[in-house]
Amino acid sequence: MGRRGDNIMDHMPGVIDAVKRAYLDVRDIYEHLGNLAIMALGLALVVTAIGFFLFGSGATLSGQLIRLVMRIAFGLVLAPYIIAAHRFIILGEVTTRYDLAPGDPRFQRFFGWTVVLALISAIPAVVPSILSLPGVLHAVLTIGLAIGVVIVILRLFIILPAVAVDSDRVTWQNAMADTAGYAGRIFLIGLAAALPVGIAAAIPAAFFASFGVSLLTLVAALIQGAAGVIIASLMVAIASRAYESLADRVRA
């Protein structure tokens, strides 16, 4: 199938316009999928609390593996909400049930790709921990891997919305072909959208954590978990619009 290339480029919004659109889309998601959003928030907070009690030192290999497991668990419990949000933005479909159905083919494909992305994102933390390199080499390897992983994830950015709308042409090769030349813009859009939420959550979280009291540290973790759901919603909106603008080979 031939790529529409130049025509698609004309429809890719600038950073400011895309961020505005993302916040409007999230508003609409919360308005029409409010029950699902509340359920997603509640489940995310439960996973965050479990992770808080299980997670030890972030610098150890075991700590990083626990963090990876919790990230996958986070993706599992949020999958019905994220699928519904993608389908709402792209198809206008309003889902009324929080369908955590591991036997559903759509859910299986979506969660499978979520696991793949989680494993990729864990590479910069896990690989240097396994190799046990000295300080400078450890830092260089971590930074290099982190840059590479960010680029890969940005190039795969439209895979999840494509799976959510049941595209049968979802491959990493097709996704990378469709996003070629747009990784930088997608990164800036995501950063600009997430930064206000991240800062708004970081200030009270740092305040509670500064007391060094376990209960208040848990509150800080829950604040960050809630912010994670909002940021995930923004990323869903951005990815859905990127799918609409860029998808050719992976389009349903």
| Pairwise CA distance, residues 95 & 64, whole Å | 35
pLDDT band at 222 (very low <50, low <70, confident <90, very high): very high
| Pairwise CA distance, residues 65 & 98, whole Å | 28
Instruction: Give the torsion sign (CA, 242, 163, 160, 43).
Output: positive
pLDDT higher than threshold 90 for residue 5 = no
Q: What percent of the chain has pLDDT over 70?
A: 92
For residue 58, the model assigns a pLDDT of 52
For residue 89, the model assigns a pLDDT of 97
Segments in 168-212 forming alpha helices (H): 172-178, 183-209
Residue 147, token pair as written in the block: 């840059």
For residue 2, the model assigns a pLDDT of 40
For residue 11, the model assigns a pLDDT of 63
Amino acid at 127: V
Give the tens place of pLDDT for each residue, 164-209. 999 999 999 999 999 999 999 999 999 999 999 999 999 999 999 9
For residue 3, the model assigns a pLDDT of 41
- Chain CA centroid to CA 242, Å: 14
Which pTM was predicted?
0.90
